[in-house]
Amino acid sequence: MNAPANSTRGVSLQVRNLWKRYGRQEVLRGVEFEVQAGEVFVLMGPSGSGKSVLLKHIIGLETPDAGDIFINGESISTPGVLERHRLAMVFQSGALLNSLTVAENVGLYLSEHRLKPPEEIARVVSEKLAVVGLEGAEDKMPSELSGGMKKRVAIARALVMEPQLILYDEPTSELDPLSAIVIAEEIVKLNRRMGVTSLVVTHDRDLAFDVAHRVAVIHEGRLLAQGAPEDIRQSAHPVIRRFLHAEFNPQTVT
Amino acid sequence: MFQNIGEMVLLFWRTLRALPLTWRQRQKVADQLFEIGNASLLMVCVLSFFIGGVLALQTGPVLVERGLHQYVGGLVGVALARELAPVMMAILIAGRCGSAMAAELGSMRVYQEIDALRTMNINPVHFLVLPRLVAIALGLPMLVVFSILVGWLGGALVASITNQIDISVQAFFADLRNGVELKDVVNGVFKSFCFAWIIGIVSCHQGLTTIGGPRGIGRSVTKAVVNSIVLIILFDFFLTRLLLD
Ligand SMILES: Nc1ncnc2c1ncn2[C@@H]1O[C@H](COP(=O)(O)OP(=O)(O)OP(=O)(O)O)[C@@H](O)[C@H]1O
Ligand SMILES: [Mg+2]
């Protein structure tokens, strides 16, 4: 798959030589990659390799020790750059506001910034909830939802922003295979329809190769490889091979 | 510690600057006000009644013995209005509402809800801190006025039914009106207004800076209440000194 040509809406993203340490632990060690406007870029890696930390840097929740991040060529450390572009993040845990209903959560961006009148917001919210397969869940509280439902509400909340760049942190990790496919389709559809640049963090191999234009593998804070899905799949790198081709073998369990 | 003070001053300043946005958050202010009233009105009533009562019990017999019974009403009235109602209610609200603020904001912090707000370009100070501070800054002085009135009533009733004092309710309030000026009540209400800001800022700051999991929330709540109470007592002294002249 190639990045679609009509990618007028998406923004490009560059991460240059990003370093971050917490205490004595080096979490990011010179991460460097580029995502073109309108591309679906998948970042894979084992647990604890720094994927969520990397996303937090891109959305501006953390500041790097060294290195820089550019959106459409502008450094996000420049005041106003993050505000000027619509970036959305789907948190690994969902991060819904527990005191608000599902509808209020999903419509929060519109209502707080007064972008639309209430009836219009209600309509958009229902529409986005339908997209993630949660019609009629408007009045539920987050505590009444399952983990997978929360994740889907979080995706709906990100969609409402009509983002130019979406960061998905493990969008399918708590979903059954069927819902996971629906979400994967949604990621691709959204990207095709609106040309939104998507950065998907996952350790779901199927999702990765289904949606990606390009794939990168992160390990212990470093990118081991990046390239077209086929190239990564064929990679000879031992860590990548182990990660991508790990299979459960009952015979080896004693 | 100095870092904390610096951060709190900064939070105070940011909230002050956000005050013009209060009208947009009016629904949340109303919710918070209701929450404060709902959580504490009954307790305020009971506490104030007994504080007034015990004041009458402690001062009444001593004054009456020395033939100074016309001062009982004034003494109870002034002590309640200037000192006891504002301080005791502030401590009560620190325990009841400050703890709730720290816990709420703390869990929002720990469960990344605040991060989520920031990714939506929603300022947590405007969205979370401002309504809570405005609500407590309005609510606590109202509670204090209420507390003063109930406390006076408690003092009057206790003074009339206690044999060693034996001042009728009418006489008590007549003396009280002689002894208490409007200035005394305003003074107490103003102090409580300052205490409300202290409780709000300390509790919201603790909540927003929570680190660690659920245990971190517990720590924040404890610190919010303890630090609020310490600061209330300290500020009480200095405010009283300031308002003396
Ligand atoms: N705020 C923090 N303070 C200290 N250490 C942190 C912090 N955030 C993350 N870390 C550490 O950074 C490392 C990478 O964490 P991160 O959450 O990015 O992993 P991940 O790749 O997203 O893993 P997973 O797939 O399990 O979500 C972990 O070892 C974690 O302990
Ligand atoms: Mg993660």
Residues of B with CB under 8 A from a CB of A: 104, 107-108, 111-113, 115-122, 127
Whether A6 has a pLDDT exceeding 50, the answer reads: no
What phi and psi values does residue A196 have, to the nearest 5 degrees?
-75, 135
For residue A22, report the distance from its CA to the centre of ligand 1, in Å: 9
3-class secondary-structure state, position A25 = strand
How many interchain CB pairs under 8 A, A with B?
Answer: 45
Residue from A53, A63, A91 whose CB has the most chain B CBs within 10 Å, to mutate: A91
Q: What is the pLDDT of residues A111-138, one digit of tens each?
A: 988 888 999 999 999 998 988 888 888 8
In this complex, the residue of B112, B121, B127 whose CB is nearest that of residue A91 is: B112
Domain boundaries, chain A: 13-86+163-252, 96-162
pLDDT of residue A254: 65
- State which ligand 1 atom lies nearest to the alpha carbon of A50: 18
CA distance linking residue A105 with residue A141, whole number of Å = 9
Summarised one tens digit per residue, pLDDT across range B157-205 is: 998 898 888 888 888 888 888 888 888 999 999 999 999 999 999 999 9
Enclosing H/E stretch for A31: strand A25-35
Give chain A positions within 8 Å (CB) of B125.
none
8 A C-beta contact, residue A26 and residue A67: no
Place of tokens 């013009």: B20
Distance separating alpha carbons of residues B140 and B88, to the nearest angstrom: 11
Q: What is the mean pLDDT of residues B2-9?
A: 85
pLDDT at residue A246 greater than cutoff 80: no
Higher-pLDDT residue of B213, A154:
A154
CB A16 within 8 A of CB A180: no
**Tokens matching residue B67:** 């033939």
CA–CA separation, B238 vs B245, rounded Å? 12
Contacts with A91 (C-beta within 8 Å, 6 or more apart), sequence order: A154, A169, B112, B115, B116
C-alpha distances (whole Å) from B71 to each of A135, B55, B76, B166, B173 are 71, 13, 9, 13, 11
Which among A28, A44, A52, A203 is the best mutation to test ligand 1's pocket, defined by most ligand atoms within 8 Å of the CB? A52
Question: pLDDT tens across B195-243, in order?
Answer: 999 999 999 999 999 998 888 999 999 999 999 999 999 999 999 999 8
In chain A, residues with a C-beta closer than 8 Å to the C-beta of B113 are 95-98
- Domain A13-86+163-252 carries which CATH code? 3.40.50.300
Contact B119 A87 (CB under 8 A): yes
Q: In this predicted model, what pLDDT tens digit does every residue of A197-239 receive, in sequence order? A: 999 998 888 888 888 899 999 988 888 888 888 888 888 888 8
Distance separating alpha carbons of residues A198 and A87, to the nearest angstrom: 10
What residue spans of A40-117 are helical by DSSP H? Answer: 51-58, 81-84, 102-112
Distance between alpha carbon A184 and the CA centroid of its chain, in Å? Answer: 11
Longest Cα–Cα distance in chain A: 63
Please tell me the number of Cα atoms within 13 Å of B130 on its side-chain side. Answer: 22
Taking only the tens place, the pLDDT of each residue in B20-75 is 888 888 888 999 999 898 888 999 999 999 999 999 999 988 888 888 888 888 89
Q: Is A22's C-beta closer than 6 angstroms to any atom of ligand 1?
A: yes
C-alpha–C-alpha distance, residues A44 and B128, integer Å: 35
Partner B contacted by A55 (CB < 8 A):
no
Q: Give the closest residue to B132 by CA, choosing from A99, A121, A8.
A: A99
ipTM summary value: 0.86
For B40, residues 6+ apart whose C-beta sits below 8 A from its C-beta are B92, B93, B96, B97, B143
Write out pLDDT tens, residues A62-97.
Answer: 999 999 999 998 898 888 888 888 899 999 888 999
Phi, psi of B226 (to 5 degrees): -65, -50
Q: Assign A4 a pLDDT band (cuts: 50, 70, 90).
A: very low
The torsion angles phi and psi of A193, rounded to 5 degrees, stand at -70, -45
